[in-house]
Amino acid sequence: MTDNKKFFIKTADGSSTLFSQEYGEAMHSDSGAYEEALLKHIYPSKILESSHDSLNVLDIGFGLGYNILALVSEAKNRNLKKNINIISLEKERELLPFMEEIFFNDYRDEIYFFIKQAYSQGFIKEDGFSIKILFGDGRESLDKIKGISFDAIFQDPYSPSKNPEMWSLHYFKRLFTLLDDTGILTTYSSALHVRRAMLEAGFIIGKGPSVGKKREGTLAGKNPLFEPLSQVEIEEIFSSSKSEVYLDPDFTFSRESILEDRRERVRLRRI
Ligand SMILES: C[S@@+](CC[C@H](N)C(=O)[O-])C[C@H]1O[C@@H](n2cnc3c(N)ncnc32)[C@H](O)[C@@H]1O
């Protein structure tokens, strides 16, 4: 049986993150959980500079809701007069007791109150923003999203080796169909097989910011709205055996079988 215990860790910007024993990692980097939401997702997604009248955001891995909190807080700080519609994917239903212990002791507490409500009720609509949480395996939830194209996708599950079902080639192909032509997908990962899966799914990719001790992340879009990787950098990705992608054609493979299948292909390539 997997141990599903979780406990808080204080990060360098004063905000707390949760460590999950099931995944063997924390939800955020120890350099600053809230800061990570802003620097790795909100700012590089350029969502708040979009010219669209209303904004659609796909937040993958709700977690403690920091990405949503940072997004709505920034929009309010900038006095943005647009509706922000957020769809968030989350597998876990037991996070509320942890969220109830989180306080920022400033204007964010009021916004966080609504984010907690969204988590417990599945939906809220407030002045300027709405949040809908799709509970369950994110791969299945993606199939329920119809008729929306997203201005930003925050790709924020646990790391690829711990959470492979959320980083496969087939998964990124699905995200490609959901991203608007002017949208940007943001993620903290720069793993070669993640970058290759994005490229094979049709995305143009570029380097995302590096925050704290972590390596640079990755930005993905349908058009070059950021500096794209050079042809040499792309060739380096494809020529490395580490770029063998995760495959999950029916969205039904277990974590272990996705990992095992890739291990075998990497092994064969190295022979
Ligand atoms: C790194 S945390 C996300 C942190 C979050 N974005 C925040 O701002 O606080 C990853 C989240 O992805 C969720 N997750 C992992 N695998 C999933 C899956 N297959 N479907 C949906 N959610 C998943 C986990 O339960 C966890 O809450």
Q: What is the pLDDT of residues 90-114, one digit of tens each?
A: 999 999 999 999 999 999 999 999 9
Yes or no: say if 44 and 184 are a contact pair by the CB < 8 Å rule. Answer: yes
DSSP state for residue 102 in the 8-state scheme:
-
Confidence band of 3 (pLDDT split at 50, 70, 90): low
Residue 171, CB half-sphere, CA atoms under 13 Å: how many?
29
pTM beyond 0.95? yes
Decide which of 2.30.30.60, 3.40.630.30, 3.40.50.150, 1.10.10.10 is the CATH code for 35-270.
Answer: 3.40.50.150
> To test ligand 1's pocket by mutation, which of 156, 162, 171, 246 has the most ligand atoms within 8 angstroms of CB?
156
Angle at Cα 246 formed by Cα 244 and Cα 247, nearest 5°? 115
How remote is the CA of residue 157 from the centroid of ligand 1, in Å? Answer: 4
Q: What is the pLDDT of residues 112-161, one digit of tens each?
A: 999 999 999 999 999 899 999 999 999 999 999 999 999 999 999 999 99
C-alpha–C-alpha distance, residues 158 and 251, integer Å: 17
How remote is the CA of residue 28 from the centroid of ligand 1, in Å? Answer: 11
C-alpha–C-alpha distance, residues 234 and 18, integer Å: 35
C-alpha–C-alpha distance, residues 37 and 32, integer Å: 9
Helix (H, G, I), strand (E, B) or coil at 88: strand
| Domain map (residue ranges) of the chain | 35-270
Q: Sign of dihedral through CA atoms 169, 174, 180, 183?
A: negative
Of 34, 2, 157, 171, nearest in space to 88 by CA: 157
The pLDDT value recorded for residue 1 is 45
> To test ligand 1's pocket by mutation, which of 39, 71, 91, 115 has the most ligand atoms within 8 angstroms of CB?
91
Ligand 1 neighbourhood includes 75 CB (under 6 angstroms):
no
Q: Which residue has the tokens 């994005």?
A: 198
Ligand 1 neighbourhood includes 63 CB (under 6 angstroms):
yes
